[in-house]
Structures are given as C-alpha cells and as structure tokens.
C-alpha cells in the first residue's frame, strides 16, 4: 500500500494504483539511459518541476518559468537550454537556491489547470519520447500563461 494520496496535491494527477508522479519521472529518466535518449533531459526536468513547484525555491521557480518562456516562445533549442542552465549553475553571480528549503518553496499565485501530466509521457511509450516531451512543454506553458502566472516574468538578459 502506498502512503501517498491518490490525487497528486501538486499537479492533480489521479492515479488509482498508488503510483506517484515521482514514479513516472523515474520511469522517464530510466528510458533516457536505456534507450540513449537524453536530448530533452533538461526539458523533462523543467516540466516535471514546473508541475510540482514546491520542489523549487521561490526564486528557482521564477528562473524555471523564464527558461520555459525562452524555450516555448523564443524557441530555444534543448542544447541552448542546457548551456543556459550550466551557465547559471556555474555562475558565481547566482545568489539564490534553486531547490526548495523547508521555509521557502515555490507556489503559483493563481491556480493552474494542467492538460497533460508526467504520466501521459509514460503512457505515450518510449518510442514517442522526444515528441511527447515537446508536446508536454507546450501544454505546460499554455495554462501557465492563461492563468496569469507568467505576468511580470521575462527572458530579459538571457540571450547575451
Ligand atoms: Zn503530480
């Protein structure tokens, strides 16, 4: 028996078999290794965390939203995204923590209704992995924008 609630408190996934969103995330990570499909790894990590924002610190969530906007609206390639992420991690200027702390975690100002969730990627099968993660990233973007959670967030300064 799982100790987890059936409905994910963050993304709303409704699994009757007690499996969690983290289980699905780990299935996808295993595929990346097993089938040597790591081109969209950072996009997977981004989408998963954006649908589970309490994994981020408030600043980490804002930074992740900037990356999503850059990817979907400015059509940043996964390779460029990887470069940007490394730049941030390696930058001495980074003065915030990306991951949540007990006293500070990311939360959306307005509720978001997701159209796709991490289990949908598992259901699509590994042969559709790249395509489904890209579709997922667009489906994560749309309701975030529609709900007003992207207001005030820009990619200013990302493309230098
Ligand atoms: Zn979830």
Count of CA atoms in the C-beta half-sphere (13 A) of 117: 20
- Please say whether the dihedral angle defined by the alpha carbons of residues 117, 121, 122 and 123, taken in this order, is positive or negative: positive
CA of 30 to the centre of ligand 1 (A): 18
Q: Span 137-158, mean pLDDT?
A: 88
pLDDT of 19 strictly over 50? yes
The pLDDT > 70 percentage for the chain reads 88
Q: Between 20 and 79, where is the model more confident?
A: 20
Residue pLDDT, tens place only, 21-33: 999 999 999 999 9
pLDDT of 39 strictly over 80? yes
pLDDT of 42 strictly over 80? yes
CA of 27 to the centre of ligand 1 (A): 14
Residue pLDDT, tens place only, 87-138: 776 765 555 567 778 888 999 999 999 999 999 999 999 999 999 999 999 9
CA of 160 to the centre of ligand 1 (A): 34
| 64 closest CA partner among 40, 79, 44 | 44
CA of 8 to the centre of ligand 1 (A): 5
Q: Rank 14-18, 54-58, 115-119 by mean pLDDT and report only the highest.
A: 115-119
Neighbours of ion ligand 1 (CB under 5 A): 8, 10-11, 13, 21
pLDDT for residue 100: 79
Residue 135: burial class (beta carbons within 10 Å; 0-12, 13-18, 19+): middle
pLDDT for residue 160: 45
Question: What pTM, to 2 d.p., does this model score?
Answer: 0.86
């Amino acid at each position: 028996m799982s100790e987890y609630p059936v409905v994910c408190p963050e993304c709303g996934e409704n699994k009757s078999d007690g499996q969690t969103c983290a289980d699905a995330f780990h299935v996808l990570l295993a595929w990346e290794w097993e089938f040597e499909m790591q081109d969209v790894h950072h996009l997977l990590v981004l989408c998963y965390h954006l649908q589970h924002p309490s994994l981020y610190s408030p600043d980490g969530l804002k930074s992740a939203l900037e990356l999503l906007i850059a990817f979907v609206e400015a059509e940043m390639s996964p390779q460029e995204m990887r470069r940007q992420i490394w730049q941030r991690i390696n930058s001495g200027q980074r003065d915030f923590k990306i991951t949540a702390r007990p006293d500070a975690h990311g939360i959306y100002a307005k509720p978001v209704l997701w159209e796709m969730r991490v289990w949908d990627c598992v259901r699509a099968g590994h042969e559709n992995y790249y395509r489904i993660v890209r579709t997922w990233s667009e489906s994560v973007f749309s309701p975030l924008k529609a709900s007003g959670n992207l207001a005030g967030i820009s990619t200013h300064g990302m493309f230098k």
